A = this chain, B = another copy of it.
Amino acid sequence: MLFHVRMDVALPHAMPADQAAELKRVEKARAAELQQAGTWRHLWRIAGQYSNFSVFDVASTDELHDLLSTLPLFPYMRIEVTPLVRHPSSIRNADF
């Protein structure tokens, strides 16, 4: 089951650089893990912004929330979740 997620990241300007770097490091590691698991199916950077569009493949909304709410950057993100379904005009059988 696919969910489209927009994430806008806003780290406080006052956050020490090393703390920010560490946050990004563990976020990146976690993202890699979830992508390898096939859960985080797409992760695109929105050009010109510290934001991304993602598509998650999960078995339930619980699983989705657990993943998103435990992301290291979660406290610093504005997140919008949109449930997706297969489009009647989609010819791709593996894209939903």
Residues of A within 8 A of B (CB): 1-5, 12-13, 15, 27-28, 31-32, 35-36, 42-50, 52-53, 55, 60-62, 64-65, 68-69, 75-76, 79-92, 95-96
Complex Cα gap A39–B52 (Å): 21
Q: Which residues of B contact A61 (CB under 8 A)?
A: 1-3, 47, 83-85
Q: List 16 A-B contacts (CB under 8 A).
A: A12-B13, A31-B91, A35-B92, A42-B92, A42-B95, A43-B89, A43-B92, A43-B95, A44-B55, A44-B84, A44-B86, A44-B96, A45-B84, A46-B83, A61-B84, A65-B83
Residue from A5, A62, A89 having most chain B Cβ neighbours under 10 A = A89
